[in-house]
């Protein structure tokens, strides 16, 4: 850390970076990424938060001086690295990796040039992926070319078979009880009729 920057300054910068944005100040730059074409709300959120964070960090660095630029870059690089790891599953999900490159890495230089007040000297490495995610945590629908797991149709088939057996058993039991009860009622009615002689 550069001299003159205190722990309190670091805390203030961190608070600025984790807040939510009700009003997007840099929506024109977000649109320039092309992310609005995507159907992925998580990617849209990452792109909009990244550009808003970058814009706020750039404005703060200009207001407070160059000693804050290094601190801003550190937080932005760590935040973007975490988001990249989270979204692309450590670079193991090819489909999401391609979306990341298309909507964050490729348009970044163009978006960065739209900030007319200058740029931060950050190294985002938006195209580098670690490929270190456990394969058992990867969702089968992560990659676009994966098909549905065959376990699900088998499970549904067994569940439907079990439900149909239970329904047949209950139907048989209930219908036998109903018929048995209706026969008893009919016999009782006949017996009542035969034991009551007619009175004249």
* pLDDT tens for each residue of 9-46: 656 665 665 565 667 777 777 777 888 888 888 888 88
Residue with tokens 């670079």: 91
Q: What is the pTM of this model?
A: 0.58
Mean pLDDT score, 176-187: 61
Answer yes or no: is pLDDT of 147 > 70.
no
Domain residue limits, the chain: 7-137, 148-200
Task: Take residue 17 and report the two structure tokens written for it.
Answer: 């970076």
Q: How many C-alpha atoms does 99 have within 13 Å on its Cβ side?
A: 24
Alpha-carbon distance of 98 to 104, in angstroms, equals: 10
């Amino acid at each position: 850390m550069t001299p003159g920057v205190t722990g309190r300054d670091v805390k203030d910068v961190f608070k600025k970076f984790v807040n939510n944005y009700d009003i997007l100040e840099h929506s024109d730059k977000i649109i320039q990424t092309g992310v609005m074409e995507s159907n992925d709300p998580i990617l849209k959120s990452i792109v909009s938060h990244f550009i808003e964070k970058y814009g706020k960090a750039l404005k703060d660095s200009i207001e407070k001086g160059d000693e804050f630029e290094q601190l801003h870059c550190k937080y932005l690089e760590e935040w973007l690295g975490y988001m990249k790891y989270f979204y692309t599953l450590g670079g193991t999900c090819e489909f999401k990796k391609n979306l990341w490159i298309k909507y964050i890495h490729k348009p970044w230089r163009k978006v960065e040039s739209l900030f007319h007040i200058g740029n931060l000297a950050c190294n985002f490495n938006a195209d580098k992926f670690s490929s270190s995610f456990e394969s058992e945590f990867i969702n089968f629908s992560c990659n676009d070319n994966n098909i549905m797991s065959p376990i699900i149709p088998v499970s549904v088939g067994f569940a439907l078979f079990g439900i149909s057996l239970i329904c047949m058993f209950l139907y048989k039991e209930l219908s036998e009880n109903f018929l048995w009860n209706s026969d008893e009622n009919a016999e009782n009615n006949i017996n009542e009729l035969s034991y009551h002689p007619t009175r004249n």
